[in-house]
């Protein structure tokens, strides 16, 4: 049995998504920019715009507010750098959190080198931002606030609607960006209800293809283009649109079913209960209130053992998970997300993220826990850190 439990990093592409993409490779392969030259280009343009409308409808936006990108990383870069550079005459102060994705944090560091001032708000032990601190940090020269909707390592769901309301009440012209790459399709998310100005999406975390995503840009919000080379996507990015990927993205959204989400949530809860029953000395990382946690996410720290060792031994038994987040798991340093939440180095190093999808099963969960129990027991016997 092979058990893939790293779906927060990426998911299996649904066969129905692949089927929707195949005609774009074989038949409708013209460029949509050729619409004024020949019929094939016009057909592809219609396919592109139909997909844009589907994505827009799913997130509660207008089609003209959806910009297709190469994925969440590009969307975050365009949102943060594009907004900062286009509005630098209004100020250079930006607010974010220390638990954002690497693409957000690295974009902010790039801006810092250009003279922008970046301030981070605190998060508590469960990963929730201090909303009162956000209010206090808003200044006259604040131009952008970027706060993720869901953290993909510990599953914390931020109250973006409340955060947005507080920010806009204090300074209405501040732009608000949210990285929602691990939210859309998993939790209720409509930009019109959240009140954000910019929101990043990706396809590969909802059983769509890799290499495609989108950015919601609220009407009349100014962004500076960061990829030159043509006039694609309302002149906000250069390059050839990934039409097969865009079609696959739209199809993946179309296939999302609330029953599947509920099934995944039940499997996640079952996994947690089984671990509690079978394995002592564990620490739940992220929200204890599971209604405020991503339905597919479970992050557990196992005392007295190293997460890297657990991952290695699980891999030998064809169980695939990860220690920390995918962006820094190759390093030996502890997770910056877990450390920012105030946990110890030992807790961070002992953490394992289990992230599920609709392609998992309860049988796989039973197998995982039985193997995990054996692995933890054996490692603790060898561990110099303590334990029974």
Catalytic residues: 327
Cβ atoms of 81 and 237 within 8 Å: the answer is no
3-class state of residue 68 by DSSP:
strand
Residue 193 tokens read as 């209800």
Strand locations in the chain (E): 3-4, 66-69, 93-96, 117-120, 142-146, 175-179, 198-202, 213-217, 282-285, 297-302, 319-320, 351-355
Of the candidates 359, 357, 365, 367, the residue with the CA atom closest to the CA atom of residue 271: 365
How many CA atoms lie less than 13 Å away from 236 in the CB half-sphere?
25
Residue 368 tokens read as 């995982």
Residues forming beta bridges with residue 282, ordered by sequence position: 302
Task: Report CA 98 to chain centroid distance, whole Å.
Answer: 15
């Amino acid at each position: 049995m092979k058990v893939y439990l790293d779906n927060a990093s990426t998911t299996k592409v649904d066969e129905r998504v692949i089927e929707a993409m195949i005609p774009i490779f074989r038949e409708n392969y013209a460029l949509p920019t050729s619409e004024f030259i020949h019929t094939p280009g016009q057909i592809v343009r219609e396919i592109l715009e139909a997909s844009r409308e589907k994505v827009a409808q799913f997130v509660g936006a207008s089609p003209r507010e959806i910009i297709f990108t190469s994925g969440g990383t590009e969307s975050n870069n365009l949102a943060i750098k594009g907004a900062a550079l286009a509005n630098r005459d209004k100020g250079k102060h930006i607010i974010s959190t220390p638990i954002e994705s690497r693409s957000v944090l690295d974009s902010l560091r790039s801006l810092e080198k250009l003279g922008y001032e970046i301030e981070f708000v605190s998060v508590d032990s469960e990963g929730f931002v201090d909303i009162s601190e956000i209010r206090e940090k808003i200044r006259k020269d604040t131009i952008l606030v970027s706060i993720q909707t869901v953290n993909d390592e510990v599953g914390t769901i931020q109250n973006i609607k409340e955060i947005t309301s507080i920010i806009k009440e204090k300074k209405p012209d501040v732009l608000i960006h949210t990285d929602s790459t691990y939210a859309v399709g998993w939790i209720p998310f409509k930009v019109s209800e959240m009140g954000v100005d910019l929101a990043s999406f990706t396809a590969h975390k909802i059983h769509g293809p890799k290499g495609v995503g989108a950015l919601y840009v609220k009407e009349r919000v100014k962004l500076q283009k960061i990829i030159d080379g043509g006039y694609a996507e309302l002149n906000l990015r250069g390059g050839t649109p990934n039409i097969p990927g865009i079609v696959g993205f739209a199809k993946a959204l179309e296939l999302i079913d609330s029953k599947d989400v509920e099934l995944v949530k039940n499997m996640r809860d079952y996994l947690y209960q089984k671990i509690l029953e079978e394995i002592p000395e564990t620490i739940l990382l992220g929200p204890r209130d599971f209604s405020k946690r991503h339905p597919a996410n479970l992050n557990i720290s196992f005392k007295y053992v190293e997460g890297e060792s657990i991952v290695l031994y699980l891999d030998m038994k064809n169980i695939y998970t990860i220690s920390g987040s995918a962006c820094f798991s190759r390093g030996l340093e502890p997770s910056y997300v877990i450390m920012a939440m105030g946990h110890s180095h030992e807790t961070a190093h002992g953490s394992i993220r289990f992230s599920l999808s609709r392609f998992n099963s309860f049988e796989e969960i039973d197998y995982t826990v039985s193997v995990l129990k054996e692995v933890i027991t054996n490692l603790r016997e060898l561990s110099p850190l303590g334990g029974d």
